[in-house]
Amino acid sequence: MEVIRPFGPSLAKVSIPIEIVNSLNEYVDKIVADEKKLNELNHGHQLAGNVKQEFRLENEFMKKTGWGKFLADNCAEWIMYASQKKITKFELIHSWIVRQFKDEYNPLHVHSGHISGVGYLKVPDDCGKYFQENKKLNRNGEIELVHGSKMFNSAATITFKPKVGDFYFFPNYLLHTVYPFSNTDQERRSISFNATIDNNIYNVYGA
């Protein structure tokens, strides 16, 4: 685990085991092929994304593959490292898939619960170029997290290029956005979650 503190709140970066990545992709492909099941699990109406397909993972599947345990164990390790506090509660609200394609995007938003995260199951080979080719940074298809404002010795944003197997944990309140991409018909497939932990650990104000 790599703990990253680019501004106020810390983030954690871990690797999803390849067997879980493969199980998740097989599961997603199976759900996509079943229109009835896809409609039952549709989660897009509760999410911010301007994408065509977002759906929840079934609880039984998350237990069977160890996905829920992966989230709980890494969340506990991150919080212990960042705050020296041991959580006794991890309740998964939802975990869901986002299938993003050309010109789709996720606007700036926050999540519910206490803890959130995002990881990557498929990434396009090429997300396209900026229209102005002399630009130094190409954000196409990347995720950007935002906190506070830019000041001396204090960044306001951090941006990550998606890579299959990478997973990031962050507090639910952290603003984040995903940029659109072009020049490809390939899929950018991500997985996210929301969860709650011990309220006396999350609520630092003690109210």
Helices 18-32 and 67-83, interaxial angle, to 10°?
A: 130
| Burial classification of residue 75, based on how many CB atoms lie within 10 Å of its CB (0-12 exposed, 13-18 middle, 19 or more buried) | buried
pLDDT at res. 44? 80
For the chain, domains (ranges, CATH) are 2-197 (2.60.120.620)
pLDDT at res. 155? 87
Strands 11-15, 166-171: pairing is antiparallel
Q: Which sign does the torsion angle of CA 36, 41, 44, 46 carry?
A: positive
Write the DSSP symbol of residue 179. Answer: -
pLDDT tens for the chain, residues 1 to 207 = 999 888 888 999 999 999 999 999 999 999 999 999 999 998 888 877 889 899 999 999 999 999 999 999 999 999 999 999 999 999 999 999 999 999 999 999 999 999 999 999 999 998 887 777 766 678 899 999 999 888 888 889 999 999 999 999 999 999 999 999 987 889 999 999 999 999 999 998 875
* pTM beyond 0.75: yes
pLDDT at res. 183? 79
pLDDT at res. 166? 98
pLDDT at res. 135? 66
List CB contacts of 187: < 8 A, sequence separation 6 or more: 99, 100, 101, 122, 124
pLDDT at res. 177? 97
- How many beta carbons lie within 10 A of that of residue 62, not counting itself? 20
pLDDT at res. 196? 98
Cα–Cα distance for residue pair 122/200, rounded to 1 Å = 37
pLDDT at res. 18? 96
